[in-house]
Structure 1
């Protein structure tokens, strides 16, 4: 048996060369699909052991209604990328389940180094109940459900996970949302959605203050125009032919894959200066790409927020391709 193998003959993650996060323990809450899945896989590719949670399993489908992506599959993809993926089906609105999750991580690892809060699942509500409606026109149950999915789940997870996270020698909390503190100065079309997407920004701001005393950092990140599985299905295309959509929706030219944000976050997590550089801030996939030199899967660096700002806010006549 090689010195870099365990008793099963498998190379130990922490001994593999070029793994910036080797030996680190991460949790990606909300990793069934989209940005969450990509974040988990990229952290694993960098060498981390990644616990992944979600509500859709091979036996049960969540309210999102997509049986094609499961949390077990995400765990397998993390392992296939070179990390150690551990799938733990969890509803983060159920306090007991979240306590069990962190109890398991504590028992198996003794600490947590990286907590990624990517909980959401409200896409159906944004389409059916939110956009184009004033707050008093929005079904109250739908609006409150959106706050549960986008705010309450984040608060429960942070409150129960931080006691374990601060055992790390460099704790990192990553909140994931839609928009930054700058872009979200504009009203996000509906009160419930606006609250749901601004809360993680404020959580990173406040929790960064608390984590600073432990040498840690909290940062909020956002993708741009995300080419998620759900978005591709909406347009009836796959990742291989996503550019076909541009003929009917020109702005889709600035869309980005989930891996784009994930590569930037993995680089941030491996940055020894991350606390000084990012604590309490919000940032985007495009800014992370510029800072760390990463690209999307096609080698481009899309900046959807800058594009929409130029077009929607300043009314400029620009080419979408100039923002790739």
Structure 2
């Protein structure tokens, strides 16, 4: 591994989980490319822009670089990776976090009674993660080092907010598994894995909790800061035994215990294993080519 600052791309990092992960990686000295579509206040109903996140990464101790990128446009994503290759000559960490999330996701009703646009997360979320990984892999294999992370959740293994959301999460878990098979087959020192994040203290969820405390108030005892997963990702990247975990879907709260990571205020967020009796699927080792 190079002695230079690790280089990371965090997609969908204007706000929410992506912003927190980017800032946490910055606190560990990483150069972080922050992608998203929000460039100015008003570009999205929720606060946050790629430039604000990039500034926060730098303030945390890293180097934040904002890149406006619509992850539904393959040409823009290709340009992002071309920029990283030209400016840094390497890529150490890719966090596939961008997803088309709409407020209507949590509305009552069955999937056919909700807007068709909820299916967009199969494009920006699932396919976009495949495209970014497809572009990252050649760089990582050539340098014989790298970590690809998919930000997932327990909805991969139980019903949560409908089939589009479930397909998105389950698909990311499976892509991590299959990509790890290919990296091993190539003899490459590159890991791919998926992390189940807990309920996150994002502007969106905090507003939901305030609007309906009877429904969402219980989450106050379980919530994770958006930065929490970023510290877990850094610990994974630094783990000499990382490749024994490649291909797996892991619960972030359990990884935090393993690596001695606590959340803000010394909290230890609970695992889905304890709160919901849910664990990730274990994929079979059979390989058919």
TM-score class normalised by the smaller sequence: 0.7 to 0.9
Number of residue pairs matched by the alignment? 275
Q: Is the alpha carbon distance of 1:69 and 1:270 closer, same or farther for their aligned partners in structure 2, counting shifts above 3 Å?
A: same
Question: Which position in structure 1 is the counterpart of 2:287?
Answer: none
RMSD: 2.5
On the 8 A contact 1:39/1:266 being kept in 2, the answer is no
Secondary structure of the residue that 1:225 maps to in structure 2?
A: coil
2:51 to 45, 50, 72: 72
| TM score, norm. by length of structure 1 | 0.78
Q: Which segments of structure 1 move beyond 4 Å, counting only runs of 4 or more?
A: 245-248
Q: Is the 8 A contact 1:227 1:256 kept in 2?
A: yes
1:56-115 CA distance string (max 9 Å, x none): 1126614xx22x200101111111111111110111111111111111111111121111
Whether 2:98 is the aligned partner of 1:119: answer yes
SS of 2:265's partner is: coil
1:166: how far off?
A: 2.2
Range with greater deviation from structure 2 (210-219 or 200-209) = 210-219
Distance in 1 separating the partners of 2:214 and 2:143: 45
Partner of 2:134: 159
Gaps in structure 1 of 5+ consecutive residues: 1-13, 16-21, 238-244, 314-324
Q: Which has the larger radius of gyration?
A: 1
Question: In structure 2, how many angstroms separate the alpha carbons of the residues matched to 1:275 and 1:218?
Answer: 9
Aligned partner of 1:269 in structure 2 is 237
**SS at 2:132 equivalent:** helix
Equivalence for 2:267: 300
Q: Which sits farther off after the overlay, 53-62 or 205-214?
A: 53-62
Q: Distance in 1 between matches of 2:165 and 2:205?
A: 18
Q: Secondary structure at the match of 1:249?
A: helix
Aligned to 1:225: 199
8 A contact 1:263–1:294 mirrored in 2? yes
Deviates more, 1:166-175 or 1:283-292: 166-175
